[in-house]
C-alpha cells in the first residue's frame, strides 16, 4: 500500500446530494482507488434515481421509478437517505443535518438545483412543481384524470410536461412571459419554428403574458380548482397549474460557510471543480466552472454535466491536482417534446454566425453557430447524426466551410476545412 493510499484509508469523504452527480462521484471515487470511507447523504427518502424520466415515463405511469442500478453496499458506500443538509461549518469540518452533524475530511457538494416556485402560489391547492419523484407522483393523478392544466413557462420542462399532459388527454394551456418559447436559451429565429409545435400538438400557447396572481377558483366548471390571472387581465381556470419557470442551485444552506457563491447562487468552483475553501469540491447543477473553451463561467443544469463532472472530482480527491486535467466539457443536453427529439451541444453567443441546415418547417433540421469559422454549438431537431458529428467537431474547435456546413446533404464532418 502506498503512503497516499494508506493516508486516504483513514479519511472520510462526505458527498452531500444523492442525485446523478453525487452517486457518480461515489462510484468514480471507488473506481479511481479511494480506499477510505465514503458517506453519501441524500435529502429524499427514496433510493437515488435518475430525473429525466420524471417528465416522461414516470409521469405517465409507464414506469414506477428510475432508481440507479448501483450496489452501494458492494462499493462500501454508506448511503444516508432522508438526510438533508442544513449548514456547513468548515472550521469544524462538519455538515449539519436534521439528524445531527456529519463530520468529513473531504467534502463534495452535489446538492443539485431546486425549482423556482411560482410567486404568490404558496399554499394554493392544485399548484405543482416537477423536480422530484414525489412531485411526479402528485401529478400522475392529474394526468390520469385528464384535468385541464395551465403550464407556466415555455422552457424545456414546460414543453416536456405539456407533451406528456397532451398524450394523457389533458387540455393544456402554456403561458410564457416572453414573446416566444425558450426565450432565455435560443435566439428568436431559432425559437420561432418551435411555436408551431405547440399548436400542432393541440396546446394553446400564450406568449407575452405574465402571471400576476394565482388563487383558488371560486367559480367555473366542476374540476376547476385554480384561477390564474394574467398581465392582460384575462383569467384562466384549470384543475392544475404546473410551474416550469426555472431552477436555481440548491445552495442556500451554505450561507455563512465561507464557500464562495455567484450571483446566481452557484458554488464558484475552479477548473478542477474545487470550491473556495480547502478540501471541498462542487459538482453538477449546484456549481459553475470557468470554461477556457468559451472564455466564461458556465452553469450547466443538465444531466450530462452531472455525469461527466464526477470524474474530475474523483481524480482531484484521489490523485491530486497535478494529475487532473481541467474540467472544460462541451455542454450537452436533449429534450423530447411534441414528438421531436431535440439535442444541443456546445455554447453559443450573441456574436456567433448562425447557419441553418435544412428547413425548420420540415420535421428534421439543424442549426450551427460559428465564431470566426470555428464551430461553437449545434442544435439538432431529428438529426442525431448532425449532433454526434457536431459535438466532436466542437470538442476539436474545428473550422468549417460555411457554404458546405449550410448544406444539409453534406455531413458536418465533411464541412471541415
Q: pLDDT tens for residues 262-304?
A: 999 999 999 999 999 999 999 999 999 999 999 999 999 999 9
Are 226 and 279 part of one and the same domain? no
Residue 328 lies in a domain: no
Contacts of 193 (CB under 8 A, 6+ apart): 360, 361, 365
Query: Contact at 8 Å (CB) between 80 and 98?
Result: no
Work out the average pLDDT over 43-50: 96
* Last-in-domain residue among 225, 243, 261: 243
Does residue 61 carry a pLDDT above 90? Answer: no
227 against 59, higher pLDDT: 227
Work out the average pLDDT over 120-143: 94
pLDDT cut 90: percent of the chain above it: 91
Are 285 and 387 part of one and the same domain? no
**pLDDT tier at 67, thresholds 50, 70, 90:** very high
Are 226 and 292 part of one and the same domain? no
CA 203/CA 158 separation, integer angstroms: 11
The CATH number for 34's domain is 3.50.50.60
Residue 27 lies in a domain: yes
Listed range (50-64, 105-119, 247-261, 381-395) with the worst mean pLDDT: 50-64
* Last-in-domain residue among 243, 262, 291: 243
CA 176/CA 351 separation, integer angstroms: 26
Does residue 389 carry a pLDDT above 90? Answer: yes
Task: Report pLDDT for 65.
Answer: 65
**pLDDT tier at 197, thresholds 50, 70, 90:** very high
Residue 277 lies in a domain: yes
Which residues are registered as beta bridge partners of 343? 334, 380
Work out the average pLDDT over 205-226: 88
Question: Which domain does 411 fall in, by range?
Answer: 339-415
Q: In what order do the strands lie in the sheet with 127-128?
A: 127-128, 240-243, 149-152, 172-176, 204-207
Task: Report pLDDT for 224.
Answer: 84
Does residue 1 carry a pLDDT above 70? Answer: no
The pTM score is 0.95
Residue 19 lies in a domain: yes
Query: Contact at 8 Å (CB) between 44 and 18?
Result: yes
Are 134 and 236 part of one and the same domain? yes
Task: Report pLDDT for 251.
Answer: 98
* Last-in-domain residue among 243, 270, 293: 243
Task: Report pLDDT for 139.
Answer: 96
Task: Report pLDDT for 171.
Answer: 97
Does residue 320 carry a pLDDT above 70? Answer: yes
Are 148 and 235 part of one and the same domain? yes
Query: H or E element: which one contains 20?
Result: helix 20-31
Are 190 and 85 part of one and the same domain? no
Task: Report pLDDT for 260.
Answer: 98
CA 37/CA 193 separation, integer angstroms: 52
Residue 264 lies in a domain: yes
Are 69 and 211 part of one and the same domain? no
pLDDT in tens, 399-415: 999 999 999 999 999 99
DSSP reduced 3-state for 407: coil
Task: Report pLDDT for 339.
Answer: 95
pLDDT in tens, 341-376: 999 999 999 899 999 999 999 999 999 999 999 999
Task: Report pLDDT for 259.
Answer: 98
The CATH number for 344's domain is 3.30.390.30
CA 333/CA 155 separation, integer angstroms: 13
Does residue 214 carry a pLDDT above 80? Answer: yes
Q: Is 378 exposed, middle or buried (0-12, 13-18, 19+ CB in 10 A)?
A: buried
Residue 331 lies in a domain: no
Residue 334 lies in a domain: no
CA distance to 151, 254, 321, per residue, from 127 (Å): 10, 28, 46
pLDDT in tens, 232-254: 999 999 999 999 999 999 999 99
Task: Report pLDDT for 57.
Answer: 82
Are 202 and 270 part of one and the same domain? no
Are 384 and 279 part of one and the same domain? no
Q: What is the mean pLDDT of the chain?
A: 95
**pLDDT tier at 388, thresholds 50, 70, 90:** very high
Work out the average pLDDT over 49-68: 83
CA 300/CA 238 separation, integer angstroms: 33
Task: Report pLDDT for 34.
Answer: 97
**pLDDT tier at 66, thresholds 50, 70, 90:** confident
DSSP reduced 3-state for 220: coil
Does residue 218 carry a pLDDT above 80? Answer: no
Query: Contact at 8 Å (CB) between 282 and 110?
Result: yes
Are 319 and 344 part of one and the same domain? no
Are 251 and 109 part of one and the same domain? yes
**pLDDT tier at 59, thresholds 50, 70, 90:** confident
Does residue 220 carry a pLDDT above 70? Answer: no
Residue 313 lies in a domain: yes
**Per-residue b or e along 104-127, where b marks 16 or more CB atoms closer than 10 Å to that residue's CB:** bbbbbbbbbbbbeebeebeebebb
CA 329/CA 308 separation, integer angstroms: 8
Are 148 and 234 part of one and the same domain? yes
Task: Report pLDDT for 148.
Answer: 97
Q: How many domains does the chain have?
A: 3
pLDDT cut 70: percent of the chain above it: 98
Work out the average pLDDT over 29-46: 97
Amino acid at each position: 500500500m502506498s503512503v497516499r493510499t494508506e493516508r486516504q484509508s483513514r479519511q472520510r469523504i462526505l458527498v452531500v446530494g444523492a442525485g446523478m452527480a453525487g452517486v457518480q462521484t461515489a462510484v468514480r471515487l471507488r473506481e479511481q482507488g479511494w480506499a477510505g470511507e465514503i458517506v453519501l447523504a441524500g435529502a429524499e427518502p427514496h433510493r437515488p434515481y435518475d430525473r429525466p424520466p420524471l417528465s416522461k415515463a414516470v409521469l405517465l405511469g409507464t414506469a414506477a421509478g428510475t432508481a440507479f442500478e448501483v450496489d452501494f453496499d458492494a462499493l462500501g458506500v454508506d448511503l444516508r437517505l432522508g438526510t438533508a443538509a442544513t449548514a456547513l461549518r468548515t472550521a469544524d469540518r462538519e455538515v449539519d443535518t436534521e439528524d445531527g452533524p456529519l463530520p468529513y475530511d473531504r467534502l463534495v457538494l452535489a446538492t443539485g438545483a431546486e425549482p423556482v416556485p411560482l410567486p404568490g402560489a404558496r399554499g394554493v391547492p392544485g399548484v405543482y412543481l416537477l423536480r422530484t419523484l414525489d412531485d411526479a407522483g402528485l401529478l400522475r393523478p392529474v394526468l390520469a384524470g385528464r384535468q385541464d392544466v395551465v403550464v407556466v413557462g415555455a422552457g424545456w420542462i414546460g414543453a416536456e410536461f405539456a407533451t406528456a399532459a397532451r398524450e394523457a388527454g389533458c387540455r393544456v394551456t402554456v403561458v410564457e412571459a416572453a414573446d416566444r418559447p425558450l426565450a432565455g436559451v435560443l435566439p428568436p429565429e431559432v425559437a420561432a419554428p418551435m411555436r408551431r409545435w405547440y399548436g400542432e400538438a393541440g396546446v394553446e400557447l400564450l406568449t407575452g403574458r405574465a402571471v400576476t396572481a394565482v388563487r383558488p377558483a371560486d367559480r367555473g366548471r366542476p374540476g376547476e380548482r385554480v384561477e390564474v390571472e394574467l398581465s392582460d387581465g384575462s383569467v384562466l381556470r384549470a384543475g392544475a397549474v404546473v410551474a416550469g419557470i426555472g431552477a436555481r442551485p440548491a445552495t442556500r444552506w451554505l450561507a455563512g460557510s465561507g464557500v464562495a457563491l455567484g450571483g446566481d447562487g452557484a458554488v464558484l468552483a475552479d477548473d478542477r471543480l474545487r470550491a473556495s475553501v480547502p478540501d471541498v469540491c462542487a459538482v453538477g447543477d449546484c456549481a459553475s466552472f470557468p470554461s477556457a473553451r468559451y472564455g466564461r463561467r458556465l452553469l450547466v443544469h443538465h444531466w450530462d454535466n452531472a455525469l461527466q463532472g464526477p470524474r474530475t472530482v474523483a481524480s482531484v480527491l484521489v490523485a491530486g491536482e497535478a494529475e487532473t486535467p481541467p474540467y472544460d466539457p462541451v455542454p450537452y443536453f436533449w429534450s423530447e417534446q411534441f414528438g421531436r427529439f431535440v439535442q444541443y451541444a456546445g455554447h453559443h453567443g450573441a456574436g456567433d454566425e448562425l447557419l441553418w441546415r435544412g428547413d425548420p418547417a420540415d420535421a428534421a433540421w439543424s442549426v450551427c453557430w460559428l465564431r470566426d469559422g470555428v464551430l461553437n454549438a449545434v442544435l439538432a431537431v431529428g438529426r442525431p447524426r448532425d449532433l454526434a458529428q457536431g459535438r466532436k467537431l466542437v470538442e476539436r474547435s474545428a473550422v468549417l466551410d460555411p457554404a458546405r456546413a449550410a448544406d444539409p446533404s453534406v455531413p458536418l464532418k465533411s464541412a471541415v476545412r
